[in-house]
């Protein structure tokens, strides 16, 4: 029992990332009808927004510390972040410590702007082209973005720690009445899961409770009719693209403490996220979220030693295997709507 709970919880953080990326992919596909292979790159750019902010916050200048001396007896030179000068040492330290959560504020406008520019500058010209062309051009864009990041940040993963308050693990089992240390779970992963739930909730609320969202959903269902009503659907779709980019970006920001960002993390996640979208049902938002969590948890179960012993290698292929089976038996995916990209 405890092992099962542990595996479910282990699957949640990866599942959250899948769900968030798949949600954005589906938003873009559902509204614009575009298959975006650069979506993983948006996730990665979000992660590097966090890296950038933490670097900005620790920008330092050299100060001579009179009270200490180096090994030659000269006064010691120390790097002092500008933040200390602005806000004092205590506040400065807190800011630096909390750089990852702070990056959300920093990354949100950047990602929206990035998404809007990408849609207006590139994707817009591909609405009428075949899906293969859309895949190809966004694939090219993904390569370019990835290489640009690699140029500026190098090829190695960059550790970006979570705030000190969230470092460490939390004894989840004790809470449920198990023995101590039976189910322990890193705090940050819990934060990530909650964060994902909130973002997903906000997106759904936005789509279901605002007029803007209602028009967008109507447009997803039947673009022509909405166009006939004299509503400028294109502009709303552009904003949705920005929103989808922001969702992917924020998912990336918060993922940095779990996995140190590197330039190819986007591609790694993209392939799986596409599988998630297809399993969930192309164009179905709730399907994407459901499939994201489901596959994340499934993957974590497949990684259990006992399962691997029974079926060697299953942890490597489980997601693909599920995708193949779903695609062949339920071409629409778990929750796909009739007529959306069938055959």
Phi/psi for 170 (5° steps) reads -130, 135
Residue 331 phi/psi, 5-degree rounding, is: -55, -25
Looking at 56-64, 87-95, 98-106, 129-137, which segment touches other proteins (CB under 8 A)?
129-137
Specify the residue, 80 or 136, whose C-beta has the smaller distance to other proteins: 136
Stretch that binds other proteins, among 54-62, 91-99, 147-155, 253-261 (CB under 8 A): 147-155
Residue 312 contacts other proteins per CB under 8 A: yes
Residue 296 Cβ, how far from other proteins at the closest point, in Å?
A: 17
Among 65-73, 131-139, 167-175, 210-218, the segment contacting other proteins (CB under 8 A)? 131-139
Closest separation between CB of residue 131 and other proteins, Å? 5
- Contact segment (CB under 8 A) with other proteins among 90-98, 157-165, 178-186, 314-322 equals 314-322
Site string for other proteins, 273-292 (x = CB under 8 A): -xx--x---x----------
Between residue 231 and residue 270, which ones bind other proteins under the rule CB under 8 A? 267
Look at residues 179, 225, 220, 198 and name the one whose alpha carbon lies nearest to residue 337.
Answer: 220
List C-alpha distances in Å: 237 to 28, 33, 46, 215, 260.
8, 10, 21, 10, 33
Which residue's structure tokens are 């953080």?
13
Q: Interface residues with other proteins (CB under 8 A)?
A: 35, 122, 125, 129-133, 135-137, 139-144, 146-148, 150-151, 267, 271, 274-275, 278, 282, 312-313, 316-317, 320-321, 323-324, 327-328, 331, 341, 343
């Amino acid at each position: 029992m405890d092992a099962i709970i542990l595996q479910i919880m282990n699957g949640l953080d990866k599942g959250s990332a899948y769900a968030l990326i798949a949600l954005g992919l589906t938003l873009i596909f559902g509204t614009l009808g575009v298959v975006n292979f650069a979506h993983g790159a948006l996730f990665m750019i979000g992660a590097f927004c966090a890296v950038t902010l933490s670097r900005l916050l620790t920008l330092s200048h050299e100060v001579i510390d009179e009270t200490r001396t180096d090994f030659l007896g000269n006064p010691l030179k120390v790097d002092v972040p500008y933040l200390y000068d602005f806000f004092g040492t205590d506040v400065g330290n807190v800011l630096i410590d909390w750089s990852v959560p702070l990056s959300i504020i920093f990354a949100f406008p950047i990602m929206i702007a990035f998404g809007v520019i990408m849609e207006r500058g590139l994707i817009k010209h591909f609405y009428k082209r075949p899906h293969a062309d859309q895949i190809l051009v966004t694939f090219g864009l993904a390569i370019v973005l990835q290489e640009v990041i690699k140029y500026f940040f190098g090829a190695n993963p960059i550790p970006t720690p979570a705030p000190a308050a969230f470092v460490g693990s939390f004894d989840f089992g004790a809470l449920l009445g198990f023995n101590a240390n039976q189910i322990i779970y890193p705090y940050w992963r819990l934060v990530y899961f909650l964060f994902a739930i909130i973002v997903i909730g906000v997106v759904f609320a936005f789509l279901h409770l605002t007029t803007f969202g209602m028009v967008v959903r109507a447009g997803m269902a039947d673009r022509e009719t909405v166009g006939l009503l004299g509503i400028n659907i294109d502009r709303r779709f552009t904003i949705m693209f920005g929103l989808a980019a922001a969702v992917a970006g924020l998912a990336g920001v918060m993922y940095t403490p779990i996995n140190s960002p590197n330039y190819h993390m986007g591609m790694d996640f993209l392939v799986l996220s596409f599988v998630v979208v297809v399993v969930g049902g192309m164009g179905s938002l709730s399907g994407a979220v459901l499939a994201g969590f489901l596959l994340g948890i499934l993957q974590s179960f497949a990684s259990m030693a006992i399962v691997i012993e029974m079926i060697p290698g299953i942890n490597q292929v489980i997601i693909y295997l599920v995708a193949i089976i779903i695609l062949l038996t339920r071409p629409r995916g778990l929750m796909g709507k009739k007529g959306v990209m069938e055959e």
